[in-house]
Amino acid sequence: MSTVNQWTGRFRPTRLDGILLVGLVAAAGWMWYRSAVGVAYRWDWPQALSTVFAAGDAGETPFFLTGIYATLRLSLWGAVLASILGVLIGVGRYAGGRTLRMFCGTYIQILRNIPPLVFIFIFYFFISSQLMPLLGLDALFNRPAEEASGWQRFLFGPPALWENLVSGVLCISFISAAYIAEVVRAGLAAIPRGQWEAGESLGIPVLDRYRFVIFPQALARIAPPLTGQYISLVKDSSIVSLISVQELTFVGSEIANSSGLLFEVWLLVAFVYFLLCLSLSILLRQVERRMTRHFHQFA
Amino acid sequence: MSGDTPSIIAFEDVSKWFGTFQVLRDVDLSIGEGECVVICGPSGSGKSTLIRCINRLETHDRGVVRVHGVPLGPGERLPRELRGKIGMVFQSFNLFPHMTVLRNLALAPMRNLRMDKEKAEETALTYLERVHIGDQAEKYPDQLSGGQQQRVAIARALCMQPDILLFDEPTSSLDPEMIREVLDVIFELTDSGITMVCVTHEMGFARKVSDRVVFMDHGEIVESAAPDAFFDAPREERTRAFLNQILHYEATA
């Protein structure tokens, strides 16, 4: 393995690094050879790029870009909702009475033990179609498009796709909340009992004990698994393409199928996801560093 | 027992079980206002459980605990008006590791007493001076020595201006050279009028500081006496055996 000097952070390549590099280049070459010779694939990157970034007939935003924006919005609101639900369920599971603990436990078990895809279909066909009218959301979404302000468009996208977005966000966040809840519960359970007792003996009200004493410490401990959860959420947002939420994967598959430039388009889609997740993990690591800088015992 | 002062803490026939194990056996104990009581005894004798029943970190199963005249039955938590009025200093300090020393001290006054930030930090600094670490206010707990951390914990409890201060083996997790500085700080509190109940194995400290020493064994109070009488002329055989065990080396040194 490569060795990074712990003190200087300098990289010293070893023989194994060389072997791995040669292996990688060989694998890439073989794949290129198979696609060129084996299936006689004709690469056409210029065509692919111009297709992908072509504006609409009336100068609308390129379809591919609307997919990226949709994925961003889906991830953002999905993460926000998943965090809220996850914290509520996690706390309920940790500190609730018997009934609440059982309810939260059941939620977690159900969501974690059926495939996300199956859940999404069930949710979309059985629940979503009933839930939307019940909450009066469809009335909200069927308002004339002109009523949407610039801010609303920026945050939630074109009004015509709001219902679409809500379905996607609900699906993603319901699934992710189950995992976040488990992480939150574990984080709470890891805080020594003495911290609670100190807060209690000082007469700090119970909600303030959570807010000032317990949560900040729990958050610092669960930051790494939570980061992983958010990255999963961005990637997993691709499955809601199957209920026609027009995000990156949906858009990518449309363009790939209509243009026939399968390899190029899917590679572009993969590249965009990669960039999104990589930037997210770099960003969250910075946040994590800031948050844990006073926790010498965790470093 | 407590003589002329009215009692601020009273155990009346208190018992408690952990599962089938009885930790407290029909405990009767009255502690007067302003009194300083040391509780000693072998480990597992129920000392910590006893004082944790005062601020209700533990609840008992039978009998009544009276705090400030408020009767607390089995399972009852601390009523609102007493919350924060009973300070506690723990064996493992239990400082909040993610806050500066100053914030550790200011948090409870701000959240419980609704003190504003400036006032709370001013109070905090006063108490930090009182435990001789006014210069450490901006540090984080793990940048301090054990002795300093425990003094911060004492100052933190004092910030709530408690009438009662409980010490649960305050020096047991300290390196020997730091025990003295913590005991000195506790000693300095004896003329503050705060009622103090201290579980400790520091017999020299008990003798010098306390008004009364209570010896516990197997969940019951075996003997309760003024320190001189307790150490020089223990009445009970079990007390003598215990004192012999822990004082052996001091006595022969």
What CATH number does the domain containing B170 carry? 3.40.50.300
- Residue B59 falls within a domain, yes or no? no
Position A36 scores a pLDDT of: 78
Q: CATH code at A204?
A: 1.10.3720.10
* In a shared domain, residues A24 and A108: no
* In a shared domain, residues A92 and A124: yes
Q: A1 vs A13, A15, A17, CA distance in Å? A: 8, 9, 6
- Residue B112 falls within a domain, yes or no? yes
Position A192 scores a pLDDT of: 95
Say how far apart CA B128 and CA A132 lie, in whole Å. 58
Enter the pTM of the model: 0.82
Position A263 scores a pLDDT of: 87
- Residue B209 dihedral angles phi and psi, to the nearest 5°: -100, -35
Taking residues B49-54, what's their average pLDDT?
Answer: 96
Position A130 scores a pLDDT of: 74
Residues of A in contact with B111 (CB under 8 A): 204-205, 208, 212
Chain A residue closest to B164 (CA)? A201
Q: Where are the beta strands (DSSP E) in chain A?
A: 3-4, 11-12
* In a shared domain, residues A123 and A200: yes
User: Is residue A108 within a helix (H) or strand (E), and if so which, with residue range?
Assistant: helix A98-113
Mutation target among A196, A200, A202, A221 for the B interface, most CBs of B within 10 A: A202
* In a shared domain, residues A32 and A64: no
- Residue B198 falls within a domain, yes or no? yes
Lowest-confidence region among A36-40, A180-184, B182-186, B204-208:
A36-40
Say how far apart CA B183 and CA B200 lie, in whole Å. 10
Structural domain that includes position A14: 1-41
Chain A residue closest to B104 (CA)? A213
- Residue A270 falls within a domain, yes or no? yes
Nearest to A167 by CA among A90, A230, A242, A272: A242
- Taking only the tens place, the pLDDT of each residue in A55-74 is 777 777 888 898 999 999 99
- C-alpha distance from B240 to closest chain A C-alpha (Å): 34
- C-alpha distance from A186 to closest chain B C-alpha (Å): 19
Chain B residue closest to A211 (CA)? B111
More confident of the two residues A150 and B76: B76
Cβ contact A195–B108 (<8 Å): no
Q: Is B83 on the interface with A (CB under 8 A)?
A: yes
Say whether pLDDT at A152 is over 50.
yes
Number of domains in chain B: 1
- Provide the number of CB pairs (under 8 Å) joining chain A to chain B: 68
- Residue B71 falls within a domain, yes or no? no
Lowest-confidence region among A81-85, A204-208, B97-101, B244-248:
B244-248
For the beta carbon of residue B88, count every other beta carbon within 10 angstroms.
25
Q: Which residues of B32-44 are buried (b: 16+ CB within 10 A; e: fewer)?
A: bbbbbbbbbbbee
Position A184 scores a pLDDT of: 95
* In a shared domain, residues A142 and A14: no
- Taking only the tens place, the pLDDT of each residue in B142-162 is 999 999 999 999 999 999 999
The β-bridge relationship of strands A11-12 and A3-4 is antiparallel
- Residue B246 falls within a domain, yes or no? yes
- Residue B8 falls within a domain, yes or no? no
- C-alpha distance from B143 to closest chain A C-alpha (Å): 9
Q: Is B140 on the interface with A (CB under 8 A)?
A: yes
Nearest to A197 among B57, B107, B142 (CB): B57
Strand order in the sheet with B7-18: B21-32, B7-18, B62-67, B70-72
Number of domains in chain A: 2
Instruction: Report the percent of chain A where pLDDT is more than 70.
Output: 88
* In a shared domain, residues A164 and A186: yes
- Residue A254 falls within a domain, yes or no? yes
Residues of A in contact with B95 (CB under 8 A): 198
Say how far apart CA B15 and CA B28 lie, in whole Å. 10
Structural domain that includes position B172: 34-48+84-252
- Residue B93 falls within a domain, yes or no? yes
Nearest to A204 among B86, B99, B111 (CB): B111
- Taking only the tens place, the pLDDT of each residue in B158-199 is 999 999 999 999 999 999 999 999 999 999 998 899 999 999
- Residue A46 falls within a domain, yes or no? no
- Residue B57 falls within a domain, yes or no? no
> Exposed (0-12), middle (13-18) or buried (19+): which is A50, by Cβ within 10 Å?
exposed
